[in-house]
Amino acid sequence: MPDTTLPVRPVELPEGAVERYARHLSLPGIGLVGQQRLAGARVLCVGAGGLGSPVLQYLAAAGVGMLGVVDNDVVDLSNLQRQIIHPVAAVGTSKVHSAAEFITNLNPLVTVRTFDTRLTRDTIGAVLGALNPHIVVDGSDNFATRYLVADTCADRAIPLVWGSISRFSGQVSVFADGHTLRDLYPEPPAPGTVPTCAEGGVFGVLPGVVGTIMATEVIKLVTGTGTPLVGRLALWDGAAANMRTVRFEPQAASADLRHKNPQEQQEVCAPVPAVTPDGIRETPVTRWPELAGSGVRLVDVREPHEWAGGVLGDPLRLPLSTLKAGALGSLDDLPRDTPLAVYCAAGVRSRAAALLLDRAGFTDVVSLSGGINGWWLRR
């Protein structure tokens, strides 16, 4: 993959830093130069809530030279179950000021810039201009901010470390080198279709797991160590204690979507595969002839009585009920890197089947949204 090391100028470490960062200085991949690069880095964290809490804590502890914090919310008592940067004494006060106080107490060698404002198209330019960050970390909790930050970072070629959480699960990726949020999710979900944390709840420790991964990606980018999550989406299922990653590629329509007016964006359909919230790659059923022509094997997961009504192409036939029982049927002898396109009647069972096939070891599975009904009704 391309070199994603950031152009951060190493700076001399201040007095007292050698002892504080001793474990980094002796760590291969970071060492003195890596620590000096951290000291010279400027990172903007969007949100000082659940994800922002561990991100800011660990980046401050790691010695990032300048941390910017943007949030216009105040600390609420219900936040304290997961937003561990804020103490009880901060309830009712500004989140950015509470976070800044914590950071300063943890590591006075770090400079903190606070922006007690809501990010909008009118304010984001001023915030970025004031900090000129090497990296932006998005821990926001609403889709308007997520897409605004992602689109702006893509246009300005600022690497973006992105994360989201819901109930027991979370996602993390790094958008750089042409990859953007819209490659995964071309459009925000319709209002009311995704529950908020207040509506659906959130496992208290989940932001700590996901936010720590986000902080890890920042440190990797700054120091040039390890392999960042560029072009990969990491998915953490806290209930099952399962972490996996799926790959994605830049989509040609992503730039067009970024530059459409908000009122027009719903009318544009990006050529996916996108990635669903459960980590399954999905593409419209109208693409099946193209996929079949490129060597992808079609898999029909409907039940046998449904096949009499017609199929797409010459599919391998594997009822979802058989797959749920633990059998792979006609797929049992296939190499696990065989590309598969799974379909059903309407696209619901194919997603469930794609997830089971992924867990069975198949590494290139896509679900055909809309199903065979969508193909028949395409006109």
Residues catalogued as catalytic = 197, 344
Q: Give the chain's length.
A: 379
> Which helix (H) or strand (E) covers residue 45, if one does?
strand 42-46
State the Cα–Cα distance between residues 210 and 171, nearest whole angstrom: 7
The CA-atom distances, in angstroms, between 377 and each of 250, 308, 372 are 29, 18, 9
* Residues 249 and 23 sit within 8 Å (Cβ to Cβ): no
Helical residues (DSSP H) of the chain, grouped into ranges:
17-20, 22-25, 31-39, 52-62, 95-106, 124-131, 143-156, 181-184, 197-200, 206-223, 254-258, 262-265, 288-293, 304-307, 320-324, 348-359, 371-376
State the Cα–Cα distance between residues 267 and 158, nearest whole angstrom: 27
| Residue in the structure block whose two tokens are 């693409």 | 287
Closest by CA to 150, choosing from 269, 281, 265, is 265
